[in-house]
Every structure is written in C-alpha cells, then in structure tokens.
Amino acid sequence: MTRFAVLGPLECWSGPQQVEIRGSLQRSLLGALLAAEAKPVSVRALVTELWGDAPPAQWENALHAHVSRLRRRITGCSDRATTEPGGSPRLIGLATGYRLVVTETDLDSLSFTRQVARARAIAAIAPSEAAELLRSALSLWRGTAFGMITGGPMARAAAHHLEAARTVALEVLFDVELRIGRHADIIPALRELVESPQLNERFCEQLMVALYRSGRQAEALATYRAMRHRLDEELGVLPTQTLRDHERAILNHHPALHTRANHMALRE
C-alpha cells in the first residue's frame, strides 16, 4: 500500500519502505498534487508552482517530463502506487491538468481532517471519545506541514491551512479535556504552547482555567499578566475582552471555573 505524508517532511511510502522523491522540482510537483487532496490541478497552476513567473522556454515539454518522471518513480515503488483499487491510474492526465488520486488511508492530511471533523461532531455528547479522536489525529503530525519544502503558492497555502487546522484541533482538544476533568494533565502542553513564539490567547485562557482548577490561582493570574505583557511588548495591543474576563472570573471565583463546569461560558 502506498501512502503519502505532508504533516511534516514530504514523504512517500510503499508499505514499510520509503520512496525517495529526488530534486526540488519533483518534490514541488508532488507537493502541489498532494496539496490539492485528489482534486484536479491545472497546468497553469503547476507551472507557477514549479517555476513561478519565469518558466523555461519549453515549459510544456518540461512539465510533461517532470510528470512522467514522477509517475515512473511512484510506479516503481509498488504495483498499487499509481492505481486505484479498481485499476484506474493513480496519477491522471486531464485535458487541462493533472490529478493525483488519494484517499483518507493514503494521505495523512485527509485522515487528520476527517478525524478532527468527527471529533468536533461528537464532542458535546461523547467528549472522551472526541478527545481520543483528536489525539489520534494530532499524532499524525511529524513537524511543520510540507516540511517547508521549496514550493509555490499551492503548497504554501495548503501548509498554512493545515497549520491553522492543527491549532484549532489543539484548542478543541483542550476544551474537551477541561470538560472531562483532565485539567492537571494538560498543563504542561498548554504551558509550552503559551510560552512559544506564537501568541494564542485561547491557549492562555485554557491554561488559566486548568491552573485554577488545579488549585493554582496565583499561577493562573501570573499567566494572564505574562500574556498581557507580551501582547503589549510585541504587538502594542491589550488582551481581548474574553481574556480579561477570564482574569476577572478567577479573581471572583466564577462558577464556570469549577471542575467539569462549562468553562466556555466565559467566552459568551
């Protein structure tokens, strides 16, 4: 079975064996086709992806050669690499472009997206199951999406979209974990995220709630002050009203902060 991975360095696997995709243009081509997640990609988009605004004089021949080389490369890795279960080609040439057929079991980004969607759909009625689904989805990540490959706008846009989806999945996971009483377990992960270069007030809110529920009110308030300072120093802005409401709720021992209470009511 051939699998493709983009939630980290771009990889192609045939069973337990990794298939090396050599050359920046070959990797950019595969990255663009995978970024489309089984949807057609136009010739124009692929040319831009590979060469930007300066394609070679014979770009039609060059693109065809790169597609043929990529097809041969993944064809050689296994009998199924370039075919669907019914025997149809995996890398399909179309009148206006190309399409790489992948499914949820073939491409980690599709599996991630589907698992997160299922988790969000059941979070209200089955939070423990939702948490397991989210942890399974997040475990697919091996690093930065697409591994910062040299690529064009399609790969970059897909990477940014996936990174944003990863952040949302983490936010949903921590909300679910707070709901089912695992506040102490998530403090280390939340602290690492809050102290990372990325400024995310939602993670700060969740860490404040987790610390408060763990009997660490002073640390929760210190977390707020540290975020307020960073927002002022790095962006010149105040915390959002929601984050300020969390500080006020902690000072006033708001009922929404009680263990297993609906802490998300503080965002309303």
Q: Terminal CA-to-CA distance of the chain, rounded, Å?
A: 47
In 3D space, the residue among 24, 12, 150, 5 whose CA is nearest the CA of residue 71 turns out to be: 12
**pLDDT at site 87:** 45
Under 8 Å between Cβ of 90 and 82: yes
Name the CATH architecture for the domain at 183-268: Alpha Horseshoe (1.25)
Domain boundaries along the sequence of the chain: 1-180, 183-268
Spatial distance between the Cα atoms of 51 and 36, rounded to a whole number of angstroms: 18
Residue 82's pLDDT is what?
Answer: 41
Q: Which CATH architecture has domain 1-180?
A: Orthogonal Bundle (1.10)
pLDDT per residue, tens digit, the chain (268 aa), is 778 999 999 999 887 888 888 888 999 999 999 999 999 999 999 999 999 999 999 999 999 999 999 988 886 554 443 444 444 568 899 999 999 999 999 999 999 999 999 999 999 999 999 999 999 999 999 999 998 665 689 999 999 999 999 999 999 999 999 999 999 999 999 999 999 999 999 999 999 999 999 999 999 999 999 999 999 999 999 999 999 999 999 999 999 999 989 999 999 8
Residues in the chain: 268
pLDDT of the residue at 80: 41
Contact criterion met (CB below 8 Å) for 257 and 263: yes
- Cα–Cα dist 80/103, whole Å: 13
Between the alpha carbon of residue 189 and those of residues 3, 135, 165, 170, the distances in Å are 30, 13, 18, 10
